[in-house]
Amino acid sequence: ATPVAIMVGTGKGAQLGILYKSAEALETAHTVDTVVLDKTGTLTQGRPVVTDVAAQAPFTEAELLQTAAALEKPSEHPLAQAVLQYAEEHGVAPAAAEKFEAVPGRGVHAQLNGTMYSAGNAAWMAACGADVSVLEAQVHHMAETGKTPLYFAKGNQLMGVIAAADPVKPTSKAAVEALRHMGLSVVMLTGDNRRTAEAIRTQLGIDRAVAEVLPQDKEREVRALQESGHKVAMVGDGINDAPALTRADVGLAIGAGTDVAIASADVVLMKSDLLDAVSAIELSRAVIRNVK
């Protein structure tokens, strides 16, 4: 594109709250054939809310909630915030845990009164030796409605499950639809479990969901698409998304996202609206069309 076309395109973008960090970003965006979207905080609000608390006998709901609050208190994960919010609303003050450790993409563990407890997904429970099969039917139901189940265990004894729902943003569905209309293939990447991911994928009309992706593996998913010949745009907001945003042919950061994501992206969506990812690609197409 000519310098004038780039200037006009960049200016038009700025008016819309779409910041192209370079001329190259504006010129490359029209070449993408695949758009990879992070789920939490990009397609969804990123502020999950607890919807269900199910204790497993002999544990009571009160014990489960007390344990959950204590374990999640030191965690910075949005799911931990949801548990703490719920605990607070139910008058549960979190006890102080010891030897807290977070395992990215899996969960946490910590000691309470000298006993090790853990919280997290099914894979993490398996790693902690806790059998979750008694809750299978209940958990499947939660996941099929798009909720994320969090398991809690005392040693290797399952205490129960807490489900959290993270509502999709109002414009996510329209944005996915528009991207598909432009002939782009839409892929969702998430650390969440398969069933929950599938529920959100169906709800939003997304072509493909890659679930249970460890935070450090998001970049590899983008690279695999590129190696099979695709030009990839990636949209994300989290620290975990930063390497994938850098790797993508065009990385787009949600403006309300983390500083690291914004620093790693080629384009910043100031209004944090996924419809602006659509506009960002359309604008690039328009700029290229006008100079040909």
Structure tokens at 47: 């502020």
In angstroms, the CA 126 to CA 18 distance is 44
Report the residue from 119, 245, 261, 269 that binds ligand ADP according to the rule CB under 6 A: 119
Question: Which residues neighbour 34 within 8 Å (Cβ) at sequence distance 6 or greater?
Answer: 184, 185, 186, 187, 225, 230, 231, 232, 233
Interactions with ligand ADP, residue window 144-163 (CB under 6 A): 148, 150
Q: Which of residues 69, 87, 108, 253 is near ligand ADP by CB under 6 A?
A: 108
Based on the residue annotation, tell me whether 166 is a catalytic residue of this protein: no
Instruction: Select from 28, 34, 40, 264 the one that contacts ligand ADP (CB under 6 A).
Output: 40
CA 234 to chain centre: 12
Name the residues that contact Mg ion, by CB under 5 A.
Answer: 38, 40-41, 237-238
| Residue 236 beta carbon to ligand ADP: minimum distance, rounded to whole angstroms | 10
Q: Which does 237 bind (CB under 5 to 8 A by kind): ligand ADP, Mg ion, none?
A: Mg ion
161-190 residues in contact with ligand ADP (CB under 6 A) are 190
Of 33, 38, 217, 266, catalytic: 38
Indicate the residue type of 203: Q
SS3 of 183-246: the string is: CCEEEEECCCCHHHHHHHHHHHCCCEEECCCCHHHHHHHHHHHHHCCCCEEEEECCHHHHHHHH
| Separation between Cα atoms, residue 65 and residue 229, nearest integer Å | 48
The residue within the footprint of ligand ADP, chosen from 6, 53, 55, 80 (CB under 6 A), is: 80
The site for ligand ADP (CB under 6 A) is made up of: 39-40, 72, 75, 77, 79-80, 105-108, 119-121, 148, 150, 190-192, 215
List, by residue number, the catalytic residues: 38
